[in-house]
Structure 1
């Protein structure tokens, strides 16, 4: 992620193209979707606010890279934000600009007063259209990314999740790192960068999202005068193949570290699956805990009670990372070297209980937690803008929070049988992926972890 703060895709199918051909007001909300003539999608949400959040989302990242140019999307992000005129414009207009590159998309965002929406759109357009860099800028960004890679390697949590993707999706683009190897970064030059942008920064893979007091027609008019001049290349298309999952492990042992960082996960469906919400509730059922919390044996989560009373770890948190067609669901924890075996056993015991003995009283709190987290996604123009972009990117439409709850028969209607069904389907007797960094001598062997994914019952 790269930020400035100043105080003053996949080619869409024909059905999706028809869906976006004309202006459409989604039912029950003030969210409008329109597609420009060249294929750029514009989505707006009108709400009363003194500020407006704008996001420009591009379907790019490691999933659209190969082993030779892995890391180039992240490099382009750094180059785009390094221009002096961009920094000066942000400073003079009191605009906050930030960006992030993930494995499936790249997002440039601008938060600004309503009077500077036009300037913000122009700044965002420069990020994907302006390709004028000199060799000095490119070499400067290489040095910055080298330093960023060192800092990345010194962050055990980031390193663990990077390893987790590498082992879970080994041999596929989704397993590649966002930063990329330093050998690739050293080879990047202006020609390689421009060729990659020509192939991947196509209008049909760009989404402009606005959330604020600005009208839909005003945003579309400004998008036409900036992004509307991008020329589509119908010959440039990319069809991503399914991301192959492999149950496996990767361990980096370093006994000099005070604690071990471990992630244990299984393969689950992606963002568009109807089982997304039950799995999300199941993740909330496990929850999170750290040593600073009190409560001892009064925690709602069985895993939190075990960790608190038996000092199994310093911190744990359940996670669900959904992508377009696949996801990772599991638990990340930080623990003492001598307690890793017991912590892994308790995690798997909790998973098996969820598959077999889940009761309504167990998921009642998890349902309320899931509701709160989902509601926070649409709280304010910034969160709402990010959520709109993600939904349009993955599902080609955006629904209001009420519609989002209704389409899955509401989170409140999720019963214990639903949670047990999805847990049995994706957890019980499945091959997990394990990634660990630190003093991992006491971590169980993979075959033993695999044998803990089922119970022998009479």
Structure 2
């Protein structure tokens, strides 16, 4: 059953089909959450509470998924340049203004969403909206600042290449979605970074940062009507160009393996993932529950046989792992579900055997108490997602971008209540049983079984 998205519209206009695939039900809408769509397609969403500190964010449908091989990394470059000032306000003036307001501004870029957010007093929300809108409408791009940030990005690229986890998940996307936009790194390549300049970046901003890709989010003691006025004043002048609508590209998954052997590393880092559905899928909640049933464990936490997760019990009692983490990475229309673990080179095969054994139990012998424990953990995670204005702002922004609405906490709890073991078995059987995985590994990976053996471990002979 598709999740119900609850929202309230002050004004509804026609948007591209992929942004308006949700169904809104005005009757049970949460009283403190409202959503308005401006005439040019900009979405404005607010959640009202009594806090004097507000969270404001500008969400943009942008990232490496919407880039080409020649400009891969430019969205991340825009993130860097956002702190360098605007045509109407230089960097020193921007820093002084933020200091005087006591505001904190942050930003991040993923494969399909870019976020500029700020934490400030409620009285300073209009100023903060102006600053965030200037990021896409008034970026200065001074030649000196551009060269400095290009150098900083090269250093960041070197730091990323020294982080095993970052490299591993880049490899995982590259092999799982090879030949598609999702395979590209967010940070880009050193060759591309060198060619970025003011004219290149300005042309990219004009072409790709269209109004229908924007969502302005506010959480705090904010009046929705005022927020709409701020958005109309700062972003209402933007005119979308249908000819510039960027495509997400294909999402072809390839069962494959990529290894980078480095025997000088103390531990092997391995990730195994399967193609699953994305954020708006009816299987989203079941996939999250299954992720929690595998769980996360690290060697320092102890517990031994008292761990609630069977895989954690095996890792602790047999000492075959330093750390493991089950993950579900959902995108708009596709996702990766799997596990990442760190182990000594002689324990990699044993750990992978235990992982696949746990996965097969999910498909065949899932117990109701395992489902209940995972559901309770999910409830806690959902509650934490809206703890504080900044977390709630991020949650509201993601739901607005992906679903053009918002699902309340009570509705998510109600949906979780309907998850039962037979349905979960069916979802796991659909996505991971007898399916080809994508495997990425770096470090001393000589002990990792070859791909055909890993593939053979994804089914049990059943009568």
State whether TM-score is above 0.5. yes
Paired residue secondary structure (2:244): coil
Q: Per the alignment, do residues 15 and 150 of structure 1 end up closer, same or farther by CA in structure 2, a change over 3 Å counting?
A: closer
Counterpart in the other structure of 2:72: 70
Q: Pick closer, same or farther for the CA change 1:443–1:123 going to 2, 3 Å.
A: same
1:223–1:252 CA distance, 2 compared to 1 (3 A)? same
Contact 1:242 1:325 survives alignment (8 Å): no
Deviations 1:80-118 (A, max 9, x none): 122313222211211110000000010000110111111
Q: Secondary structure at the match of 2:371?
A: helix
What SS class does the counterpart of residue 435 from structure 1 fall into? strand
1:18 is displaced (CA, Å) by 11
Shift of 1:229: 2.3
CA distance in 2, matches of 1:123, 1:131: 10
Task: Please tell me whether the aligned partners of residues 68 and 184 of structure 1 are also in contact (alpha carbons under 8 angstroms).
Answer: yes
Counterpart residue number, 2:287: 279
Cα distance in 2, alignment partners of residues 18 and 430 from structure 1? 29
CA drift of 1:136 comes to 1.1
- Tell me the residue number matched to 2:297: 289
Alignment partner of 1:240 is 2:240: no
Report if aligned partners of 2:40, 2:238 keep a CA contact under 8 Å in 1.
yes
- Asked whether the 8 Å contact 2:59–2:114 carries over to 1, the reply is yes
* DSSP-derived class of the 1:235 partner: helix
- CA–CA distance in structure 1, aligned partners of residues 158 and 35 of structure 2: 42
Q: Which residue of 1 aligns with 2:368?
A: 360
For residues 15 and 251 of structure 1, do their structure 2 counterparts lie closer, same or farther at Cα, with a shift above 3 Å needed? closer
Aligned to 2:126: 118
1:14 and 1:298 mapped to 2: Cα distance?
A: 50
Quick one: structure 1 residues 16 and 269, their matched pair in 2 at CA, closer, same or farther if it must change by over 3 Å?
Answer: closer
Does 166-175 or 36-45 show the bigger shift?
Answer: 36-45
Say whether residues 1:149 and 2:157 are aligned partners: yes
Given that 1:260 and 1:439 are in contact with CA atoms closer than 8 Å, whether structure 2 keeps it comes out as yes
Tell me if the contact between 2:22 and 2:403 (Cα under 8 Å) persists in the aligned partners.
no
Query: Which SS does the other structure have where 1:338 is aligned?
Result: coil
Distance 1:355-1:16 versus aligned 2 partners, 3 A rule: closer
Would the alpha carbon gap of residues 395 and 285 (structure 1) be closer, same or farther in structure 2, given more than 3 Å must change?
same
1:309-338: CA deviations, max 9, x gaps?
A: 101110111111000000001111111111
Distance apart, 1:235 and its partner CA: 2.7
Q: Counterpart of 2:438?
A: 433
The counterpart of 1:421, out of the listed 401, 426, 451, is: 426
Once residues 200 and 178 of structure 1 are traced to their aligned partners in structure 2, the CA distance between those partners, rounded to angstroms, is 16
In structure 1, what is the equivalent of residue 55 of structure 2? Answer: 53
Residues 226-277 of structure 1 deviation map (CA, whole Å, 9 limit, x = unaligned):
1122233233212323311111111111111111111111111000011110
Partner of residue 132, structure 1? 140
Residue 214 of structure 1 corresponds to 222
The corresponding residue for 1:197 is 205
1:106 aligns with 2:144: no
Match of 1:91? 99
Query: Which stretches in structure 1 are left out of the alignment for 5+ residues?
Result: 1-10
The alpha carbon displacement at 1:36 in A equals 1.8
- Name 1:320's counterpart in structure 2: 328
Runs of 4 or more consecutive aligned structure 1 residues displaced over 6 Å after TM superposition: 17-20
What 5-or-longer segments of structure 2 have no aligned partner?
Answer: 1-13, 86-90
1:41 is aligned, of 40, 43, 50, to: 43
User: In the alignment, which residue of structure 1 is the partner of 2:88?
Assistant: none
TM-score, normalised by the number of residues in structure 2: 0.92
> CA, structure 1 residues 70+55, in 2 after alignment: closer, same or farther (shift >3 Å)?
same
Output the CA distance in 2 between the equivalents of 1:71 and 1:26. 42
Q: Distance in 1 between matches of 2:18 and 2:241?
A: 19
Q: Secondary structure at the match of 1:37?
A: coil
* Cα distance in 1 between the residues matched to 2:29 and 2:284: 23
How does the TM-score come out when normalised to structure 1? 0.93
Distance 1:427 1:305 in 2: 22
1:392 corresponding residue in structure 2: 400
Q: Give the C-alpha shift of residue 16 in structure 1.
A: 5.4
Q: How far apart are the structure 1 equivalents of 2:241 and 2:311?
A: 53
* 2:409 equivalent in structure 1: 401
Alignment CA distance shift 1:19-1:329 (3 Å): closer
Residue of 13, 18, 39 corresponding to 2:16? 13
State whether residues 266 and 430 of structure 1, in contact with CA within 8 Å, keep that contact through their aligned partners in structure 2: yes
8 A contact 2:21–2:403 mirrored in 1: no
Assess if the C-alpha contact under 8 Å between 1:363 and 1:416 holds in 2. yes
The residue matched to 1:403 in structure 2 has which SS? helix
Classify the secondary structure of the residue corresponding to 1:229.
Answer: coil
Superposed CA RMSD: 1.8
Give the length in aligned residue pairs.
443
1:72 to partner: Cα distance: 0.4
